[in-house]
């Protein structure tokens, strides 16, 4: 198993988070790969360091750092050559703390691959309680994410985020391409937000609708939503 302990950290700092490991393989694998999930809007991964203080000859290498959604990312790293057995500190994960005080970040190991054999981990989620001043809001991932409820009957909330100040325009089309609604709004900062779509009932028919979100930078995001009456 892999274990990261709960830790108290400060906003705006770079920290080394210890990674503890415990396994005992019948024979030494050629390659060991681990995957963990974390909150990318509060943490930025900087790298890994192997623990060589007790004579360990292995290295830790970052393989992948991919954002899955606005609040979840997956990190994969390799240990080569891995020890056959270990019950000690494997190394450190170096991260930068992005969010402000009175917030929390999390990390959770999920998979361990010994060569091609998959081990699903039941490691507990590690929580990082963040202190600091002044508060800094998490940096959002820009996009048009979903509408709630979906399907909807008469109204629905569009959930989205912008990463810089500026105007954002929304256009809603029927499946036949007819422009049903249009709205512009200004955001003074990077933030997550919601927009209520509510058209007169006689203009809405059951079926699919297309939403376009256009930003001042030229980015265009789309979302399909379903009306069911």
Joined tokens for residue 90: 């494997």
Task: Please report the pLDDT score of residue 107 as a whole number.
Answer: 92
Q: Are residues 154 and 90 in the same domain?
A: no
126 and 7 Cβ atoms separated by less than 8 Å: yes
Backbone angles phi, psi at 202, to 5 degrees: -75, -10
Considering 101, 131, 161, which residue would you say is the last residue of a domain?
Answer: 131
pLDDT tens digit sequence for 94-134: 999 886 555 788 899 999 998 888 888 888 888 988 877 55
Number of domains within the chain: 2
Considering 106, 131, 156, which residue would you say is the last residue of a domain?
Answer: 131
pLDDT tens digit sequence for 5-53: 888 888 888 999 999 888 888 888 888 899 999 988 888 899 999 988 7
Query: Strand locations in 70-190, DSSP E?
Result: 72-80, 85-97, 103-114, 117-120, 126-131, 143-148, 155-162, 166-174, 179-187
56 and 87 Cβ atoms separated by less than 8 Å: no
Length of the chain: 229
pTM of the predicted model as reported, rounded to 2 decimal places: 0.56
Q: Are residues 41 and 84 in the same domain?
A: yes
Q: Is 24 in a helix, a strand, or coil?
A: strand
Task: Please report the pLDDT score of residue 186 as a whole number.
Answer: 92
Query: Residue 137 domain-assigned?
Result: no
Please give the Cα distance from 36 to 89 (Å, whole number).
17
Q: Are residues 185 and 96 in the same domain?
A: no
Q: Domain containing 194 — which CATH number?
A: 2.60.40.2550
pLDDT tens digit sequence for 141-199: 889 999 999 999 888 999 999 988 899 999 999 988 899 999 999 988 888 889 999 87
Query: Residue 136 domain-assigned?
Result: no
Q: Are residues 115 and 8 in the same domain?
A: yes
Query: Residue 138 domain-assigned?
Result: no
Q: Are residues 47 and 106 in the same domain?
A: yes
Q: Are residues 122 and 149 in the same domain?
A: no
Considering 64, 96, 131, which residue would you say is the last residue of a domain?
Answer: 131
Kind of pairing between the strands at 59-69 and 72-80: antiparallel
Kind of pairing between the strands at 2-3 and 14-24: antiparallel
Q: Are residues 157 and 205 in the same domain?
A: yes
Task: Please report the pLDDT score of residue 101 as a whole number.
Answer: 55
Per-residue confidence at 140, pLDDT binned at 50, 70, 90? low
Task: Please report the pLDDT score of residue 92 as a whole number.
Answer: 92
Q: Are residues 108 and 171 in the same domain?
A: no
175 and 166 Cβ atoms separated by less than 8 Å: no
First-to-last alpha carbon distance for the chain, in angstroms, is: 50
Residue 188's domain comprises 143-227
């Amino acid at each position: 198993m892999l274990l990261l302990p709960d830790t108290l950290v400060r906003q705006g700092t770079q920290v080394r988070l210890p990674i503890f490991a415990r396994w005992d393989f019948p024979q030494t694998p050629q390659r060991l790969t681990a995957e963990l999930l974390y909150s990318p809007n509060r943490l930025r991964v900087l790298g890994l360091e192997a623990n060589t203080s007790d004579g360990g000859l292995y290295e830790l290498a970052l393989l992948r750092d991919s954002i899955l959604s606005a609040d979840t990312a997956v990190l994969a790293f390799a240990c080569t050559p891995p020890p056959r057995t270990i019950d000690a500190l494997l190394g450190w994960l170096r991260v930068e703390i992005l969010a402000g005080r009175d917030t929390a970040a999390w990390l959770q190991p999920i998979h361990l691959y010994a060569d091609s054999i998959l081990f699903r981990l039941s490691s507990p989620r590690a929580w990082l309680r963040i202190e600091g001043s002044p508060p800094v809001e998490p940096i959002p991932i820009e996009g048009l994410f979903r509408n709630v409820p979906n399907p909807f009957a008469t109204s629905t909330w569009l959930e989205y985020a912008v990463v810089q100040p500026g105007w954002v325009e929304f256009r809603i089309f029927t499946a036949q391409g007819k422009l049903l609604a249009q709205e512009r709004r200004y955001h003074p900062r990077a933030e997550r937000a919601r927009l209520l779509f509510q058209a007169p009932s006689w203009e809405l028919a059951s079926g699919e609708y297309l939403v376009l979100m256009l930003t001042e930078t030229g980015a265009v995001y789309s979302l399909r939503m379903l009306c069911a009456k």
